[in-house]
C-alpha cells in the first residue's frame, strides 16, 4: 500500500484571511484532482500568514480566522488538509494545526515549543500545547508537530510514543545563510530518537524584514533526504511512501542547495518582489550614484520587479566624479531601466545661502556633507510620492553598523535591501550578478568606495578597511563578542574599540532606518535590539 502526501510550499499574505483561504482551497483541490494525494500539508499559520504579530491580539481578526477555518473545512472533500492556523481559545490563542476531513475539523494539534528569541516572540501571543496529535491517514498513524517542536526534544518523540509512524512538521522558518543545513541536521537528531520518517513543509516568500526560502524536505528513518523542494520557488508537489511493516519514503526529486552567494541573491530578490507586490506599490525608485551598493540594488530591483517598473535618479554634485555619472548611466542602460539626471547643485547652493548668516564663523564639516545627502533624499521621496513607487535605500550592513550614513538623507526610503548585507558580501553579490550578464561595470567593483561628499573622499578616510571592519562587526554584532574577545582573535585594539564605539553610539540612527531583509544570523531591527540610551561600555 502506498501513501501520497502533497507538500504545499506556498507564499501567503499576512492578514489576508480570505485570500489565503482561496489559495488553500484551490491548492487542496489541485492536490486531490491532479496529484491524487491522500493529504495536503500547508505551512505553519498559513491561514493567517506568518508572523501575524499583534493581529493575534485583535478579537475581530481571531473571530474571522475561526470562521474562515470552518468555511475551509466545510468545503474539504476527498482529501485531508493539514493546515496551520491561529486557534481562538478562551484566555489566550494557540499556534495550531488542524486536520480537515470531509467537511469537518477532524483533529487539532497545538504547538508545544514557542520560540522567544531572535526574530521570534511567540510567547507574547500564544499558550503552549502539551498533548500529541496522531491521526489515521489512509490506514497509517501520522503525527503532527509545528516548527520549533522539531528543534527541541519532546514533541516529536511524544508523537512517536503515541504510535505515529510518520511525522508531519509544518513550518514558517525564516531564511539566513546556511539555514537549510541547520534544519536538516536538527531533523536528523529528532528522528534518530523517534525512529520514524519526517515530512518538513516550509513557507516561502518575503514578509517585512523576514524572507522564507521553502526548501521543504522529506527524511527517511535513517536521516537520508528522499525529497527536497527548490529554494525560493513555490511548489505544490507530491511525495510517496511505501507502507508495509515500515513507512518508507519513495525516492523523489532532491533539489541541490544553492551556493551561498546565489542563495543570498535569490533571498534579496524575493524580499524586494514581495514587499513591493504585497504593499501594492507601482514599482521602485532609487538613487544611482555610480557606486557598487546602488548598482547592486538596481540589479536586484530589476530582477525582482522587471526593468520597466524600476527608475533610477542620478544626482551629481560638485564632488561627483565624471566616471561615477558614466558608470551609473551604463548600469541603468545595461538593465533597461529608465533613469533621470537631476544635479543637486541648485538645491545645495540654496541651503548654504539660507544658512550662511547662522553658520558665519563656523568651519565646514559633516554638516555640509549631510545637506547634500538630504537634498538627494528630498528628490527621491518626491519621485516615490508622485509615481507611487517605493524608494529603495542602498546602504549596506557595514555602513548601517557604524553610522556611515545620513539620517533623512541616504537613509530616507521605504525598504533597505542591503541593510543586512556586509560590504564584502556586496562585492561577491555584484560579481555573481555579472556572471549571469554583465550589468555592473568592472571599475565600479574595482575602484575604492566613496560617498563623494567632499573632495577626493574615500570610505577608508573614516572607516577601517572593509577586510578588517566586516569581521569585527560580525563578531561584535552577530555573535555578541566583547572588545577583549575581538582583540584576542588578532584584530588591532585601536580598531576593535573604535568600531565597537561607533556601533554603540549609532543605535539611534538604525532605529530610524527603513526595514530591510534579514539574511545573516543576526540582523538589526526585530533581531538585534539594543537600547539607544545606554551607559554600558561608555
Residue pLDDT, tens place only, 391-439: 999 999 999 999 999 999 999 999 999 999 999 999 999 999 999 999 9
pLDDT digits (tens, 9 = 90+) for 97-116: 999 999 999 999 999 999 99
What local confidence, expressed as pLDDT, does residue 218 receive? 97
Query: With 0-12 CB in 10 A as exposed, 13-18 as middle and 19+ as buried, what is 480?
Result: exposed
Q: Which fold has domain 2-257?
A: Nitrilase/N-carbamoyl-D-aminoacid amidohydrolase (3.60.110)
What local confidence, expressed as pLDDT, does residue 437 receive? 95
**Set of cell numbers at residue 86:** 491561529
Position 527 confidence tier, pLDDT thresholds 50, 70, 90: confident
Average pLDDT over residues 70-96: 93
> Which residue out of 87, 122, 133, 147 is catalytically annotated?
147
What local confidence, expressed as pLDDT, does residue 451 receive? 61
Cβ atoms of 199 and 165 closer than 8 Å: no
| pLDDT tops 80 at residue 12 | yes
Selected residue with higher pLDDT from 453 and 167: 167
What local confidence, expressed as pLDDT, does residue 447 receive? 83
Q: Cα–Cα distance between 180 and 183 in angstroms, integer? A: 5
What local confidence, expressed as pLDDT, does residue 462 receive? 73
Cβ atoms of 100 and 50 closer than 8 Å: no
| pLDDT tops 90 at residue 514 | yes
**E strand or H helix at 213:** strand 210-213
What local confidence, expressed as pLDDT, does residue 456 receive? 65
Cβ atoms of 233 and 40 closer than 8 Å: no
pLDDT digits (tens, 9 = 90+) for 231-289: 999 999 999 999 988 889 999 999 999 999 999 999 999 999 999 999 999 999 999 99
Cβ atoms of 84 and 24 closer than 8 Å: no
For the question of residue 481 being annotated catalytic, the response is no
Residues in the chain: 538
Check the annotation: does 290 bind a ligand.
Answer: yes
> Which residue out of 111, 419, 423, 518 is catalytically annotated?
111
Q: Cα–Cα distance between 78 and 81 in angstroms, integer? A: 10
Angle at which helices 345-355 and 366-387 cross, to 10°: 130
What local confidence, expressed as pLDDT, does residue 453 receive? 61
Check the annotation: does 509 bind a ligand.
Answer: yes
Which residues of the chain does CATH 3.60.110.10 include? 2-257
For the question of residue 147 being annotated catalytic, the response is yes
Query: With 0-12 CB in 10 A as exposed, 13-18 as middle and 19+ as buried, what is 261?
Result: middle
Check the annotation: does 95 bind a ligand.
Answer: no
Strands 94-101 and 104-110: antiparallel
Check the annotation: does 399 bind a ligand.
Answer: yes
> Which residue out of 44, 311, 331, 474 is catalytically annotated?
44
CB atoms near residue 494 (< 10 Å): 10
Please identify which residue in the block is written with the cell numbers 516548527: 147
Q: Which of 63-67, 313-317, 457-461, 497-501 has the lowest mean pLDDT?
A: 457-461
What local confidence, expressed as pLDDT, does residue 245 receive? 84
Average pLDDT over residues 347-369: 93
Average pLDDT over residues 283-296: 95
Please identify which residue in the block is written with the cell numbers 574599540: 497
Average pLDDT over residues 511-525: 92
Check the annotation: does 191 bind a ligand.
Answer: no
Which residues of the chain does CATH 3.40.50.620 include? 262-458
Check the annotation: does 245 bind a ligand.
Answer: no
Query: Is CATH 3.40.50.620 the right assignment for the domain spanning 262-458?
Result: yes
What local confidence, expressed as pLDDT, does residue 525 receive? 84
Check the annotation: does 396 bind a ligand.
Answer: no
Check the annotation: does 143 bind a ligand.
Answer: no
Angle at which helices 292-305 and 322-335 cross, to 10°: 10
Amino acid at each position: 500500500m502506498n501513501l501520497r502526501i502533497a507538500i504545499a510550499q506556498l507564499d501567503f499574505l499576512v492578514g489576508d484571511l480570505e485570500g489565503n483561504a482561496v489559495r488553500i482551497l484551490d491548492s487542496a483541490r489541485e492536490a486531490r484532482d491532479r496529484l491524487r494525494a491522500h493529504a495536503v500539508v500547508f505551512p505553519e499559520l498559513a491561514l493567517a500568514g506568518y508572523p501575524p504579530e499583534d493581529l493575534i491580539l485583535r478579537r475581530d481578526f481571531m473571530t474571522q480566522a475561526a470562521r474562515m477555518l470552518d468555511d475551509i473545512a466545510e468545503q474539504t472533500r476527498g482529501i485531508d488538509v493539514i493546515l496551520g492556523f491561529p486557534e481562538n481559545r478562551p484566555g489566550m490563542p494557540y499556534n495550531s494545526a488542524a486536520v480537515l476531513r470531509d467537511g469537518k475539523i477532524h483533529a487539532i494539534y497545538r504547538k508545544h515549543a514557542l520560540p522567544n528569541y531572535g526574530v521570534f516572540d511567540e510567547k507574547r501571543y500564544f499558550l503552549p500545547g502539551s498533548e500529541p496529535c496522531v491521526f489515521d491517514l489512509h490506514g497509517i498513524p501520522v503525527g503532527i508537530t509545528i516548527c520549533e517542536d522539531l528543534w527541541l526534544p519532546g514533541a516529536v518523540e511524544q508523537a512517536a510514543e503515541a504510535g505515529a509512524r510518520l511525522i508531519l512538521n509544518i513550518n514558517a522558518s525564516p531564511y539566513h545563510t546556511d539555514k537549510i543545513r541547520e534544519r536538516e541536521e536538527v531533523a536528523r537528531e529528532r528522528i534518530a530518537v523517534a525512529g520514524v520518517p519526517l515530512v518538513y513543509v516550509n513557507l516561502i516568500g518575503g514578509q517585512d524584514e523576514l524572507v522564507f526560502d521553502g526548501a521543504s524536505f522529506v527524511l527517511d528513518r535513517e536521516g537520508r533526504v528522499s525529497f527536497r523542494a527548490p529554494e525560493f520557488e513555490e511548489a505544490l508537489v507530491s511525495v510517496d511512501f511505501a507502507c508495509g511493516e515500515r513507512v518508507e519514503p519513495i525516492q523523489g526529486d532532491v533539489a541541490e542547495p544553492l551556493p551561498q552567494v546565489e542563495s543570498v541573491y535569490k533571498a534579496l530578490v524575493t524580499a524586494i518582489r514581495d514587499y513591493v507586490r504585497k504593499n501594492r506599490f507601482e514599482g521602485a525608485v532609487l538613487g544611482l550614484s555610480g557606486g557598487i551598493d546602488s548598482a547592486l540594488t538596481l540589479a536586484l530591483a530589476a530582477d525582482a520587479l522587471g526593468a520597466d517598473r524600476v527608475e533610477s535618479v542620478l544626482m551629481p554634485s560638485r564632488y561627483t566624479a565624471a566616471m561615477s555619472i558614466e558608470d551609473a548611466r551604463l548600469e541603468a542602460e545595461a538593465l533597461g531601466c529608465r533613469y533621470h539626471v537631476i544635479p543637486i547643485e541648485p538645491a545645495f547652493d540654496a541651503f548654504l545661502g539660507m544658512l550662511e548668516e547662522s553658520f558665519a564663523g563656523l568651519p565646514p564639516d559633516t554638516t555640509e556633507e549631510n545637506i547634500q545627502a538630504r537634498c538627494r533624499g528630498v528628490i527621491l521621496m518626491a519621485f516615490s510620492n508622485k509615481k507611487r513607487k517605493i524608494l529603495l535605500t542602498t546602504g549596506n550592513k557595514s555602513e548601517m553598523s557604524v553610522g556611515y550614513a545620513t539620517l533623512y538623507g541616504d537613509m530616507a526610503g521605504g525598504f533597505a535591501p542591503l541593510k543586512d548585507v556586509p560590504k564584502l558580501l556586496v562585492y561577491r553579490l555584484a560579481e555573481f550578478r555579472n556572471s549571469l550578464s554583465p550589468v555592473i561595470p568592472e571599475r565600479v567593483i574595482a575602484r575604492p568606495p566613496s560617498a563623494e561628499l567632499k573632495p577626493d573622499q574615500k570610505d577608508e578616510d573614516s572607516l577601517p578597511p572593509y577586510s578588517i571592519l566586516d569581521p569585527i562587526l560580525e563578531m561584535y554584532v552577530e555573535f555578541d563578542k566583547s572588545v577583549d574577545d575581538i582583540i584576542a582573535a588578532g584584530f588591532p585594539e585601536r580598531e576593535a574599540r573604535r568600531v565597537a564605539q561607533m556601533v554603540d553610539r549609532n543605535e539611534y540612527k538604525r532605529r530610524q532606518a527603513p526595514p530591510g531583509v534579514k539574511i545573516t544570523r543576526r540582523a538589526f531591527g526585530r533581531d538585534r535590539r539594543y537600547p539607544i540610551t545606554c551607559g554600558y561600555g561608555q
